[in-house]
Amino acid sequence: MQIADFFRLEWLQFIRAAYFQKSLALKILIGFLVLYFGGTAVLLGGVIYFIAKKSAPDVDPLVTVNNLLVIWVAVDLLLRYFLQQLPVLNVKPLMTLPVRRNKVVRFVLLKSLTSFFNILPLLLYIPFTVVLLANDYDPIQTLAWFFGMVSVSFSINFTNFLINKNNTFFYALLTIVALGVGLNFFSIFDPRVFAGQCFYAFFDKPYWVVAPILVMYLLYRTNKSLLLNGFYLDDMVSKKVTLAEDADLSWLKHFGPVAPFLENDIRLIRRNVRPRQVLLVSFMFLFYGLIFYTQDVYKEIPTILVFASIFVTGGFLMTFGQQVPSWDSQYYKLLMSQNIPYRQYLNAKWMLMVFGVLVSFLLSFPYLYFGWDIFAMIAAGALFNVGLNSFITLIGGALNRTPIVLNEKAKAFANTSGFNPTQLLIGLPKIFLPMLFFYIPYRLISFDAGLICIALSGLLGLAFRSQFLSLIERIYIKGKHKTIAAFAQES
Amino acid sequence: MIVVEKLTKKYLNVEVLNIDELSIPKGQSFGLVGNNGAGKTTFFSLLLDLIRPTTGQIHSKGVRIDVSEDWKPFTSAFLDESFLIGYLTPEEYFAFIGKLRGLSKGEVAEFTSKFEGFFNDEILGKRKLLRDLSKGNQKKVGLIGALIGNPEVVILDEPFANLDPSTQIRLKQLIKSETQNTHTTFLISSHDLTHVTEVCDRIVVLEKGQVIKDLQTSPETLKELEKYFSEPLEG
């Protein structure tokens, strides 16, 4: 078996994946998305030189960019940690075939380099390098810098697998990061400046490029030996077995007939990787406001702030809610052959989403720092989320038939649920309705009138709760067989 | 109990099932045999309204399955692992099914404790999640789960596959005693002719979606089936 054979298998896996065989519209949408992200990276790589030159005319733009790159590197690592998984499980069928372990492991690691996460930095660095060359930077130095940065990206790639698979590495990295933050806090040492200098060194003294390449190679070796040692069914290749913790959920019985569903949902979130990921993403949504409330530009256009406020409390509601029947896709046949009233099922999910909004709202109290206006806006947004957004999201979810593998991380671009055209269409009102509700009375009457209007829309939605649930119920009943068939397909 | 009329199912104009008429009386243990692709699972999926029939209909206790959902309270099934909730422990799974069928946690625990022998000490009280159990143990959980709440119709797709010999024997005893004591109607598909003739009162052979044989089980049935399946298939 040659490396080429592996790639052939991978190619077949890629083009025959369930998500790839979906409708043309979906393929086009995915294509657009890839183009969008790729295009943004290329564009950024092309113009950042000039932006840097303009914002700091006295400094070499390469120095400015290098100082910024550490943020990119940090975000890169963070995103990878949550989204990128080493595809070791795929090697199981190869274990009994006459292929050397060494070869399989090498392939798994090399293949990981073709992930979108490694292509994206290339799309950024290549145009930037071209611009540098066009601006008469020394070709050898520039190329050294380019290879240095690519090695850094690939090192992150391998670091991610180490911290993902091995707690020792995870805590080691965490300690380093904490140390950096701490030293920065006491102004002893600025890791940002240090990283900037390191990156600039690749250019300044091109022989330094050996350092990141060496680091990359060492990380690769560590990964390789770790994988080789763990190349057994009961080790790396297998999934971890966890014992169920005995959380007392009996208090849920006060919720009556909805209780068994709530109980299940809580266990779903606690015991599976994917829902926990969603929980984390929704926590990050809490900080969404910081991006907008801190900018003076937006003070003049509060309609944009409404948008941010919806996201502050709506993170969990939207990320969990838009996949509502999909969470149960792995055992949907069971649910459909049991005596389950859709109403109770939906009610349980709705209550969970509302609970998510309430918790987010409580956690958003620190936004009081930005003043009452902002806080009132968040509160009004929370009401909109509870009363209207929850139902809109559930309708979107009902139309979403992408199965979810609960105990595996989401793969970037493997999960097409968010790109479902109908869902996108339904997603629009989530964003624009509250802005509209605010904008019209704000323009005609006042800021407060706008907020009241958002809040009222939420209350009105609550009043029509049972109508909304009936509507969603009908969608469920109508699409039942389609949903069962779609969920039966392995994603 | 179950009446099938002019039932057909086509996928992309290929007929995978065509049963003109079939009725299964209450309390019968009904066995379905046939080679791969004969339409056994399709038939069971139709019985559970998991797929829609192309033509025809099935009534269960007078309820038309693809129109009303009133058959659900007295019907239960275990077709494959998609009937298990991977992130629950066996106890939690049983309790969940029990609640859907109107039983309290205590009642469910009392019911499942009767199957300690069947579970062979590997399932209850281990705090293991269903997804971490072996295939055989998962199957045991699914099979017992399908018996919770005294259903009148129990549909099991290949219940003997993946089970160890002791459990196979226990399962046969279990099905026999359930049909005798509670008049539960069992619908069982199997590739194991010995097991199915031992357990079922009646055996139907499906081939390419058609009912080829409909036999009341007698001492000669096993021989007849073996003869049928050892002959080269026509067409």
Residues A457 and A333 in one domain: yes
Q: Has residue A245 been placed in a domain? A: no
Of A174, A206, A237, the domain-final residue: A237
Amino acid identity at B158: E
Within 254-273 of A, beta carbons closer than 8 Å to B belong to 259-260, 263-264, 267-268, 271-272
What confidence score (pLDDT) does residue A74 get? 82
Taking contacts as CB-CB distances below 8 angstroms, the residues of chain A near B77 are 337
Q: Which residues, in sequence order, are bridge partners of residue B30?
A: B187, B202
Degrees, nearest 5: CA angle A450-A453-A455: 115
Within 167-226 of A, beta carbons closer than 8 Å to B belong to none
Taking contacts as CB-CB distances below 8 angstroms, the residues of chain A near B73 are 339
Q: How far apart are CA A432 and CA A423, in angstroms?
A: 15
Between B51, B99, B131, which is nearest A260 by CB?
A: B99
Q: Which residues, in sequence order, are bridge partners of residue B77?
A: B155
CA distance A337 to chain B (A): 6
A28-37 contacts at long range (C-beta below 8 A, 24 or more positions apart) = A29/A419, A29/A421, A29/A424, A30/A413, A30/A416, A30/A419, A33/A413, A33/A419, A34/A116, A34/A413, A37/A120
Check pLDDT > 90 for residue A2: no
Of A205, A237, A269, the domain-final residue: A237
Check pLDDT > 70 for residue A404: yes
Instruction: Give chain A's mean pLDDT.
Output: 82
Give the least confident one: A246-250, A445-449, A450-454. Answer: A246-250
Q: Does A89 touch chain B (CB under 8 A)?
A: no
Helix (H, G, I), strand (E, B) or coil at A161: helix
Taking contacts as CB-CB distances below 8 angstroms, the residues of chain B near A484 are 50-51
Of the residues B41, B42, B50, the best mutation for testing chain A's interface (the one with the most A CB atoms within 10 Å of its CB) is B50
Question: Backbone phi, then psi, for A404, in 5-degree steps?
Answer: -120, 130
Taking contacts as CB-CB distances below 8 angstroms, the residues of chain A near B109 are none
Do A337 and B127 lie within an 8 Å CB cutoff?
no
Of the residues B87, B126, B127, the best mutation for testing chain A's interface (the one with the most A CB atoms within 10 Å of its CB) is B87
Taking contacts as CB-CB distances below 8 angstroms, the residues of chain B near A241 are 128-129, 132
The torsion angle over the Cα atoms of residues A224, A228, A233 and A239, rounded to 10 degrees, is -30
ipTM: 0.86
Type and span of the H or E element at B22: strand B14-24
Check pLDDT > 50 for residue A417: no
Tell me the mean pLDDT in the region A466-470. 93
pLDDT in tens, B162-205: 899 999 999 999 999 888 888 899 999 999 999 999 999 999 99
Residues A356 and A432 in one domain: yes
Residue ranges in chain B whose pLDDT is less than 70: 232-235
Hey, how many other C-beta atoms are within 10 angstroms of the C-beta on A239?
11
pLDDT: which is higher, B97 or A241: B97
Residues A266 and A231 in one domain: no
pLDDT: which is higher, A10 or A320: A320
Q: How far apart are CA B189 and CA B191, in angstroms?
A: 7
Residues A21 and A45 in one domain: yes
Contact (Cβ atoms closer than 8 angstroms) between residue A162 and residue A155 = no
pLDDT in tens, A185-213: 777 777 778 888 888 888 888 888 899 99
pLDDT-derived band at A25, boundaries 50, 70, 90 = low
pLDDT in tens, A154-172: 999 988 888 877 778 888 8
Percent of chain A whose pLDDT exceeds 90:
20
Q: How far apart are CA A256 and CA A241, in angstroms?
A: 32
Q: Has residue A243 been placed in a domain? A: no
Per the structure, the complete domain to which residue A132 belongs is given by 3-237
What confidence score (pLDDT) does residue A412 get? 45
Q: Does A242 touch chain B (CB under 8 A)?
A: yes
Q: Has residue A295 been placed in a domain? A: yes
Q: Nearest-CA residue of chain A relative to B51?
A: A481
Taking contacts as CB-CB distances below 8 angstroms, the residues of chain A near B96 are 260, 263-264
pLDDT-derived band at A50, boundaries 50, 70, 90 = confident
Residues A131 and A191 in one domain: yes
Do B128 and A271 lie within an 8 Å CB cutoff?
no
Q: Has residue A303 been placed in a domain? A: yes
Structure tokens at A489: 């397909």
Residues A203 and A56 in one domain: yes
Residues A273 and A159 in one domain: no
Do A244 and B92 lie within an 8 Å CB cutoff?
yes
Do A244 and B89 lie within an 8 Å CB cutoff?
yes
What confidence score (pLDDT) does residue A455 get? 92
Percent of chain A whose pLDDT exceeds 70:
87
Residues A226 and A287 in one domain: no
Q: Has residue A244 been placed in a domain? A: no
What confidence score (pLDDT) does residue A14 get? 66
pLDDT: which is higher, A177 or A133: A133
Give the least confident one: A305-309, A416-420, B80-84. Answer: A416-420
What confidence score (pLDDT) does residue A51 get? 86
Residues A190 and A331 in one domain: no
Hey, how many other C-beta atoms are within 10 angstroms of the C-beta on A225?
11
Do B85 and A484 lie within an 8 Å CB cutoff?
no
Do A338 and B128 lie within an 8 Å CB cutoff?
no
Taking contacts as CB-CB distances below 8 angstroms, the residues of chain B near A333 are 48, 50, 79-80, 82-83
Between B48, B89, B132, which is nearest A241 by CB?
A: B132
What confidence score (pLDDT) does residue B78 get? 94
Residues A222 and A278 in one domain: no
The torsion angle over the Cα atoms of residues A18, B81, B179 and B30, rounded to 10 degrees, is 30
CA distance A332 to chain B (A): 7
pLDDT: which is higher, A16 or A329: A329
Residues A342 and A407 in one domain: yes
Q: How far apart are CA A375 and CA A368, in angstroms?
A: 5
Within 407-426 of A, beta carbons closer than 8 Å to B belong to 407
Q: How far apart are CA A40 and CA B139, in angstroms?
A: 50
Taking contacts as CB-CB distances below 8 angstroms, the residues of chain A near B95 are 260
Between A246, A260, A272, which is nearest B96 by CB?
A: A260
Check pLDDT > 70 for residue A70: yes
Alpha helices in A247-371 (DSSP H): 259-271, 273-285, 288-293, 296-299, 302-321, 324-327, 332-337, 342-363
Of A206, A237, A268, the domain-final residue: A237
Which residues fall within 8 angstroms of residue A26, CB to CB, at 6 or more apart?
A19, A416, A419, A420, A421
Residues A271 and A362 in one domain: yes
What confidence score (pLDDT) does residue A302 get? 83
Q: Nearest-CA residue of chain A relative to B73?
A: A339
Contact (Cβ atoms closer than 8 angstroms) between residue B159 and residue B147 = no
Domains along chain B with CATH numbers: 2-84+152-234 (3.40.50.300)
Q: Does A234 touch chain B (CB under 8 A)?
A: no
Do B50 and A336 lie within an 8 Å CB cutoff?
yes
Q: How far apart are CA A370 and CA A199, in angstroms?
A: 37
Check pLDDT > 70 for residue A431: yes
B75-78 and B153-157 strand pairing: parallel
Contact (Cβ atoms closer than 8 angstroms) between residue B188 and residue B44 = no
Domains in chain A: how many in total? 2
Of the residues A327, A338, A481, the best mutation for testing chain B's interface (the one with the most B CB atoms within 10 Å of its CB) is A338
CA distance B198 to chain A (A): 28
Taking contacts as CB-CB distances below 8 angstroms, the residues of chain B near A255 are none
Within 113-172 of B, beta carbons closer than 8 Å to A belong to 127-129, 131-132
Q: Has residue A242 been placed in a domain? A: no
Between B83, B87, B99, which is nearest A406 by CB?
A: B87
- In 3D space, the residue among B100, B190, B85 whose CA is nearest the CA of residue B142 turns out to be B85
Q: How far apart are CA A15 and CA A5, in angstroms?
A: 15
Of the residues A269, A274, A339, A408, the best mutation for testing chain B's interface (the one with the most B CB atoms within 10 Å of its CB) is A339
pLDDT in tens, A94-121: 777 777 778 888 888 887 887 778 888 8
What confidence score (pLDDT) does residue A235 get? 57
Q: Has residue A319 been placed in a domain? A: yes
Q: How far apart are CA A286 and CA A315, in angstroms?
A: 7
Contact (Cβ atoms closer than 8 angstroms) between residue A83 and residue A273 = no
pLDDT-derived band at A291, boundaries 50, 70, 90 = confident
Q: Has residue A193 been placed in a domain? A: yes
